[in-house]
């Protein structure tokens, strides 16, 4: 199990350096996208075409370019829809207001800004809309207000809106090109790998529990904190998982993930793993409590405990493998009888620790 | 304890309707801010003053206005610093590039955009910067790029930058006015109250555990899910707490919170409460396991268990009170001996359930 510890450290370190590499690549990609979009200013023929509106393309690139491809796509689509909707409604409101003319014009513009602004802001506070369309609503408010007030000053609102939309489209195109086609960072890959890492973390901290419990006092504190930290990181992974799944849903077909890939299953697995992590953390605190059986009492439990833990961590690592290779997990029928047999053995040995181990098993049983 | 249940439901419902009211107020405030900033367009003397740059003020209001006052402030300060830094560096780069002239000018501009864009993007991926200055870095990239490319086309870069900054300042002023001075939503209040709610959730789910355990089978499933959900919401509150504490740090002195108020302590309390919630959730799953003592065996445990639970929930509710009233919690010396006495009693009665209860106590002891 020392080997597995080294392996897990290796895995984490490899994961981290990969992640850092990805950060560097992402930064370079943003730099390239910025230079590309600046060409609209730098190259004379292009500038003569788009003029000052090139500003909107630059703004689009800076604001849209996110770390994960899915985030960029979702923001881009939100921005597009928000701009079109806001622009269309803004034009209608501006035209209507112009029909009235005079002071009534300004008053009507003010009222429409208040109503649409407040309504769209309220929609941003509704959780289901907030998760997916928050950015779109903001852009809607922005575009609507800008178009409706420019309607008062500029004669050709439609023309301004069309040009602005075109430059935003250019910015979006550059974002999509650099984000999705050149070394893409898929949120789906991240979510996929994070599940495997979580399984590994839980398995290693179950092993850590066992080793610590049967360890001879002195080295206890060193190792414990590490495996506990891993377990806690699993415990607090909910919001990150949800964010990744949200981005993953926006990402197009690529690699091993097909259309309508069941991202919700990942969230369910994550939920189960967090429950298992709860059990492991509380098992650990039970084992650390001051009222412990003496060493003589512990000794006979060592073998069955080891059997439980090795079966569990074997099962978890198999699950990890099967997730990574995207195969169905076959071990279920093998694991359950083994665990049940050891449970009976443990129950005979001692009531107290057995109760705790059983609980852990239960979680696994419900998990498999 | 039925009364406490009703009270807790009432508390939650009151909290929710208050929250909805706050959402409506927030939406109206945004509407008002938008109308105020539109006056720059709508009123002729103002428009003659600022001209087309009024667009930047509108953009600032739409982008900056967040639900919590602290979030608006932090975004506003970020935007200000990012704009000033990006503008200053952009001006320097533009002037340097103009010294060279010709094609070298454009090349130098492109290179500087790439370097600064990539560097600032990388800084956004460093966690400690991401939490606080993410938005500022983005605005830095945006302003730098816009200023440096406009330097190629417009003669008076400085003038454009100055005007733009002035209108951004106006937008920020309107945001601050409507966000902080009119019915402010303080993130600090939210964090403060959420701690109290969490304590209440944990207390009520401990009570729920007890009632369910000694309940006669049939009604079990109805009530359980609710108190368990509360407990899980405590479990997954980490990211929300951190967000609120982050905003709260930006908020100025107001109400009962002074300067340099110890927001970190709230995070620590939250951490401890989450650990307690872990224990409660796993206690619940232990109590729900199929292998249970018969009813005759349970009966003698009823009283001591009730004593533990009532002491615990009393202590938690006292803690809640003391947080709400911001007084020091005095009950510590009373609670500990009580719990210890009951623990001894329980240990004598039965080993198994005692082990679980003990664990819970431990958490509380470490908490107090």
Select from A114, A362, A363 the Cβ nearest to the Cβ of B35.
A114
ipTM of the complex: 0.79
How far is the C-alpha of A185 from the C-alpha of A179, rounded, in Å? 8
- Tell me the C-alpha distance between B43 and B37, whole Å: 10
Q: Is B348 on the interface with A (CB under 8 A)?
A: no
B48-105 pLDDT tens trace = 877 778 888 998 999 899 899 889 999 999 998 998 899 889 888 888 888 887 788 8
SS (H, E, C) B274-290: HHHHHHHHHHHHHHCCC
pLDDT tier for residue B285 given thresholds of 50, 70 and 90: low
**Taking the CA of residue A68 as centre, how many other CA atoms within 13 Å lie in the half-sphere pointing to its CB?**
21
A257: β partners: A254
The model's pTM is 0.80
With 0-12 CB in 10 A as exposed, 13-18 as middle and 19+ as buried, what is B256? exposed
- Give the sign of the dihedral formed by CA B334, CA B339, CA B342, CA B348: negative
Quote the minimal CA–CA distance from A359 to chain B in Å: 6
Mean pLDDT of chain B: 76
A38-42, B93-97, B161-165, B364-368: the lowest-pLDDT one: B364-368
pLDDT the model gives residue A366: 41
pLDDT for the residue A360: 45
Q: Residue A58 is nearest to which of B106, B145, B358, comparing CB atoms?
A: B145
Contacts of A114 in chain B (CB under 8 A): 31-32, 34-35
CA dihedral A176, A178, A181, A182 (to 10 degrees): -160
Q: Å from B103 to nearest chain A CA?
A: 10
Q: How confident is the model at residue A290 (pLDDT cuts 50, 70, 90)?
A: low
What pLDDT score does B333 carry?
61
- What is the pLDDT at residue A248? 86
Phi, psi for B257 (deg, rounded to 5)? -100, 120
Least CB–CB distance from B110: residue in A24, A42, A236: A42
Alpha-carbon span A98 to A329, nearest angstrom: 67
Could you say which residues from 4 to 33 on chain B have a Cβ atom under 8 Å away from some Cβ of chain A?
23-24, 26-28, 30-32
- Mean pLDDT (whole number) for B278-305: 66
pLDDT at A310 over 90: no
Question: Do the chains contact at A58 and B146, CB–CB below 8 Å?
Answer: yes
Chain B positions in Cβ-Cβ contact with residue A51 (cut-off 8 Å): none
B367 in reach of chain A (CB within 8 A): no
pLDDT digits (tens, 9 = 90+) for B144-202: 998 888 876 656 667 777 787 888 888 999 998 888 888 888 888 888 888 888 888 88
Hunting for tokens 């018969």 — which residue is that?
Answer: B294
Calculate ∠ Cα B273-A213-A298, nearest 5°: 125
Look at the block and give the residue holding tokens 């450290």: A9
* Cross-chain residue pair A351–B352, CB shorter than 8 Å: yes
Report the alpha-carbon distance of residue A194 to residue A200 in Å, rounded: 10
Task: Select the residue of B30, B54, B289 nearest A117 (Cβ to Cβ).
Answer: B30
Confidence of residue B141 (pLDDT cuts 50, 70, 90): very high
Can you tell me the distance from the alpha carbon of A232 to that of A208, in angstroms, rounded to the nearest whole number?
Answer: 14
Digit-coded pLDDT (tens) for B224-239: 556 677 777 888 888 8
Q: List the 47-106 stretch of A: residues with Cβ below 8 A of B.
A: 47, 54-55, 58-59, 62-63, 65, 67, 106
- What pLDDT is stored for residue A217 in this prediction? 53
**What pLDDT score was predicted for residue B31?**
92
Residues A98 and A116: their CA atoms lie apart, in Å, by 18
Q: Report helix, strand or coil for B254.
A: strand
3-state secondary structure chain A: CHHHHHHHHHHHHHHHHHHHHHHHHHHHHHHHHHHHHHHHHHCHHHHHHHHHHHHHHHHHHHHHCCCCHHHHHHHHHHHHHHHHHHHHHHHHHHHHHHHHCHHHHHHHHHHHHHHHHHHHHHHHCCHHHHHHHHHHHHHHHHHHHHHHHHHHHCCCHHHHHHHHHHHHHHHHHHHHHHHHHCCCCCHHHHHHHHHHHHHHHHHHHHHHHHHHHCCCCCCHHHHHHHHHHHHHHHHCCHHHHHHHHHHHHHCCCECCECCCCCHHHHHHHHHHHHHHHHHHHHHHHHHCCCCCCCHHHHHHHHHHHHHHHHHHHHHHHHHHHHHHCCCCCCCHHHHHHHHHHHHHHHHHHCHHHHHHHHHHHHHHHHHC
A167 token code pair = 């430059």
List helix spans (H) across B177-262: 187-213, 220-235, 238-250
The answer, for B35 touching chain A at a CB cutoff of 8 Å, is: yes
The DSSP bridge partners found for residue B254 are B257
Average pLDDT of the segment spanning B327-352? 61
Which residues lie across from B257 on neighbouring strands?
B254
- Cα A129–B228–A359 angle (5° rounding)? 125
B185 phi/psi in degrees, rounded to 5:
-95, 100
Among the partner residues A24, A34, A146, nearest to B145 by beta-carbon distance: A34
**Residues of chain B positioned with their CB less than 8 A from the CB of A275:** 281, 285
Shortest CA gap B119–chain A (Å): 7
- Indicate yes or no: CB of B38 within 8 angstroms of CB of A351: no
The 10s digit of each residue's pLDDT in B40-64 is 888 888 888 777 788 889 989 998 9
Distance from CA of A327 to the nearest CA of B (A): 31
Distance from CA of A179 to the nearest CA of B (A): 14
Q: Which residue's entry shows tokens 């929930």?
A: B313
- Cβ-Cβ pairs closer than 8 A, A with B, add up to 184
Instruction: Give percent of chain B with pLDDT exceeding 90.
Output: 14
Which of A118, A127, A134, A161 best probes binding to B when mutated, by most B CB atoms within 10 angstroms?
A: A118
* Residue A239 CA neighbour count, 13 Å, CB half: 12
With CB atoms and an 8 Å threshold, state whether A351 touches B351.
yes
Cβ neighbours of B349 in A, within 8 Å: none
Optimal mutation site among B62, B244, B357, interface A, most CBs of chain A within 10 A: B62
**∠ Cα B76 B82 B88 (to 5°):** 135
Put simply, the answer to whether B121 touches A30 (Cβ < 8 Å) is yes
End-to-end CA distance of chain A: 23
Chain B from 110 to 149: CB within 8 A of any A CB: 110, 113-115, 117-119, 121-122, 125, 138, 141-142, 145-146, 149
Structure tokens at A277: 């992590």
Chain B positions touching A63 (Cβ under 8 A) are: 138, 142
Nearest-Cα residue of chain B relative to residue A103? B42
pLDDT digits (tens, 9 = 90+) for A63-119: 899 899 889 999 999 998 998 899 889 888 888 888 887 788 888 889 999 999 999
Q: Which residues make Cβ contacts (< 8 Å) with residue A115, sequence separation at least 6?
A: B31
Query: In the predicted model, is pLDDT for residue B7 greater than 50?
Result: no
Q: What is the DSSP letter of B236?
A: T
In chain A, the residue whose alpha carbon lies closest to the alpha carbon of B137 is: A62
């Amino acid at each position: 199990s020392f080997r597995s510890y080294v392996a897990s450290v290796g895995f984490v370190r490899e994961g981290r350096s990969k992640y850092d590499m990805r950060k560097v690549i992402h930064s370079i990609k943003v730099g390239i996208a910025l230079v590309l979009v600046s060409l609209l200013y730098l190259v004379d023929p292009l500038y003569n075409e788009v003029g000052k509106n090139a500003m909107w393309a630059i703004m689009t690139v800076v604001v849209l370019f996110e770390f994960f491809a899915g985030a960029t796509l979702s923001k881009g689509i939100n921005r597009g829809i928000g701009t079109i909707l806001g622009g269309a409604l803004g034009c209608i409101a501006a035209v209507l207001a112009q029909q009235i003319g005079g002071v009534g014009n300004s008053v009507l513009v003010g009222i429409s800004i208040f109503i649409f602004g407040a309504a769209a802001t309220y929609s941003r506070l509704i959780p289901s809309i907030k998760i997916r369309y928050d950015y779109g609503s903001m852009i809607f408010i922005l575009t609507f207000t800008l178009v409706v007030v420019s309607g008062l000053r500029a004669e050709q609102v439609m023309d301004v809106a069309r040009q602005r939309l075109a430059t935003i489209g250019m910015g979006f195109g550059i974002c999509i090109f650099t984000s999705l086609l050149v070394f893409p960072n898929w949120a789906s890959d991240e979510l996929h790998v994070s599940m495997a890492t979580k399984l590994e973390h839980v398995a290693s901290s179950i092993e850590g529990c066992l080793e610590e419990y049967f360890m001879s006092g002195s080295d206890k504190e060193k190792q414990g904190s590490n495996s506990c930290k891993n377990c806690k990181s699993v415990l607090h992974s909910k919001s990150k998982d949800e964010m990744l799944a949200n981005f993953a849903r926006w990402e197009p077909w690529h690699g091993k993930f097909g259309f309508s890939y069941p991202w919700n299953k990942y969230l369910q697995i994550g939920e189960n793993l967090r429950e298992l992590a709860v059990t492991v953390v509380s098992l650990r605190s039970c084992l650390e409590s001051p009222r412990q059986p003496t060493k003589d009492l512990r000794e006979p439990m060592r073998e069955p405990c080891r059997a439980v833990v090795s079966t569990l961590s074997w099962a978890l690592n198999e699950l990890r493998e099967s997730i990574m290779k995207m195969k169905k997990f076959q071990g279920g029928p093998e694991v359950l009888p083994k665990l049940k047999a050891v449970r009976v053995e443990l129950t005979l040995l001692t009531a107290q620790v057995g109760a705790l181990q059983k609980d852990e098993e239960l979680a696994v049983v419900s998990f498999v």
